[in-house]
Amino acid sequence: MLKIETDNIYLRLLTESDMPIIATAMTGVHANDALPTDTDQKYFYYKANVQNSTFPATETVLEDTKIGHFNMTICLKSDDSPVGFCITRYVGKSVEQKMTAIIPAQRNKKYYTESTIARHRFYYDTLEAEDSTAIIPTSDTGTNTSVRQTLDSLYQTNEKIYTIEQGEYRVSKITKAEWNTWLDSSSKKDLTYNLTWS
């Protein structure tokens, strides 16, 4: 069992029963507002489950030769209900954040920020990652506003900028030292961080 817990939420490995709820987190992501169909959800879960099955079952640190994924559901501590998901890939000691999304009913409640801090503490404090890469929107429209509020101050250096259907995005990387400096100066540094991994 893997559970990353903070003040109001926790993250755990994604399960099939999460799919109908977390699929709605894609609202506002695509230009035509399309949501994943039942078939899309089944494929997403199948792929996530295969990837999660290769992630270590007990606590570990990243190694230079390992490549893999972990796909997690973000849940409320108050009632265990799913409120979003995140997709993460690691290559050696580098972590790549592929996507994090919150369902519409739970947006603008700071769960995105809280999940970001919990995940980075997991990357750096537990997995002992050396750096982390994020894909960040460059515009302030719709769902992008809270994403940028959380990530723009943390990920400041651009490695690449590209445009897709959803708009313009930038790729940015931070080191463990940069993360620690950011967290120490953040009002969120006192958020709890509890890990269960057994």
E strand or H helix at 75: strand 67-76
Neighbours of 76 (CB within 10 A): 15
Residue 9 reports pLDDT greater than 90:
yes
Distances (CA, A) of 97 to 81, 90, 155, 194: 23, 9, 12, 21
Q: What is the pLDDT of residue 31?
A: 58
Q: What is the pLDDT of residue 162?
A: 86
Question: For the segment 110-143, what is each residue's pLDDT rounded down to a tens digit?
Answer: 999 999 999 999 999 999 999 999 988 887 666 6
Tokens (6 digits) for 33: 């507002």
Own/partner contacts of 157-164, CB < 8 Å, gap of 24 or more, are 159/133
Distance CA 20, CA 119 (A): 23
Confidence of residue 16 (pLDDT cuts 50, 70, 90): very high
Average pLDDT, the chain: 91
Residue 55 reports pLDDT greater than 70:
yes
Confidence of residue 70 (pLDDT cuts 50, 70, 90): very high
What are the extents of the domains in the chain? Answer: 2-190
**Half-sphere exposure in the Cβ direction for 135 (13 Å, CA):** 17
Question: Is 43 within 8 Å of 36 (Cβ atoms)?
Answer: no
Of the candidates 65, 56, 63, 25, the one whose C-alpha atom is nearest the C-alpha of residue 41 is 25
Confidence of residue 29 (pLDDT cuts 50, 70, 90): low
Q: What is the pLDDT of residue 35?
A: 84
Confidence of residue 65 (pLDDT cuts 50, 70, 90): very high
Of the candidates 112, 15, 121, 127, the one whose C-alpha atom is nearest the C-alpha of residue 68 is 127
CATH of domain 2-190: 3.40.630.30
